[in-house]
Amino acid sequence: MEFNITRDYRNELLSRREVSFALTYDGATPSRDEILGKLGAKLDAKRELMVLETTKKPYGVSESSYIARIYDTADELTKTERAYMITRSAEKKAEAEEAE
């Protein structure tokens, strides 16, 4: 999995960082959890403060483009983001452990 960051913008009004990137990979399309985990490690950001918004994948190509938002605090995240986006971008391992 290879990241190519095309835009990295700081939005002071919403206390977040907006990152557009292209992702090249082999095989199946990576999950949101994998993408956010590796992007967080690359950008030195906390996983729980990240939301992956847009995914665009052309047919037959092993490359996708994404937009991710990284918030400064959990409070800013909950004030700005829609609830379903927070749930969709939540780490899946934690949810699986809660169900057991």
* pLDDT (tens digit per residue) in 9-21: 999 999 999 999 9
Give the domain ranges of the chain: 2-99
Architecture of the domain made up of 2-99: 2-Layer Sandwich (3.30)
88-to-37, 39, 47, 63, 91 alpha-carbon distances in Å: 14, 16, 13, 21, 9
Rounded to an integer, what distance in angstroms lies between the CA atom of residue 28 and that of residue 48?
A: 25
Query: What is the rounded average pLDDT for all residues in the chain?
Result: 88
Contact 21, 38 (CB under 8 A): no
Q: What is the structure's pLDDT at 53? A: 87
- Eight-state DSSP code of residue 77: H
Whether the pLDDT of residue 94 is over 80: the answer is: no
Q: Model pTM?
A: 0.82
User: Is residue 51's pLDDT more than 80?
Assistant: yes
